[in-house]
Amino acid sequence: MSFEEQILQAITSVMPENAKIRLVPGIGSLNVGVSWKLNDDPERPNKMSKTIAICVTDEAAQDIADASAAQQAEASQRVSAFLSQKLANFDPNHNTPKYEAPPIEQWLIGNAVLVG
């Protein structure tokens, strides 16, 4: 399994079961958008949560790509722990009008997370 696949697996395992996880072209090495239906407004049954934009920096991705399989596994565990902590403090709710996109919150995964 590639490290990109390990990161996507970590994201999927931490996020709510009904989350939509999308790869998004962007500046970083790996960019993933995550959101889910809130089910908190009967007037808006399809209202989505704030979007979480997860970005793995190029430098971190290249550094970990050159690492051993054991180091990559450790990095994947650190990513899961980082995402779990961020999600525990994340408020997905918002009051954005239905004709506007939900707010976006960026979570950056750099060497401080991957390498420790």
Structure confidence at residue 84 (pLDDT) = 97
Structure confidence at residue 66 (pLDDT) = 86
Phi and psi at 42, nearest 5°, equal: -60, -25
Q: Are 83 and 11 in contact (CB under 8 A)?
A: yes
SS3 percent helix, strand, coil of the chain, rounded to 5, is 40, 20, 40
Angle between helices 69-88 and 58-65 (to 10 degrees): 140
Q: What's the rounded Cα separation, in Å, for the pair 43 and 54?
A: 29
Helix (H, G, I), strand (E, B) or coil at 12: helix
Structure confidence at residue 28 (pLDDT) = 65
pLDDT one-digit tens code per residue, 73-91: 899 999 999 999 999 999 9
30, β-bridge pairs: 56
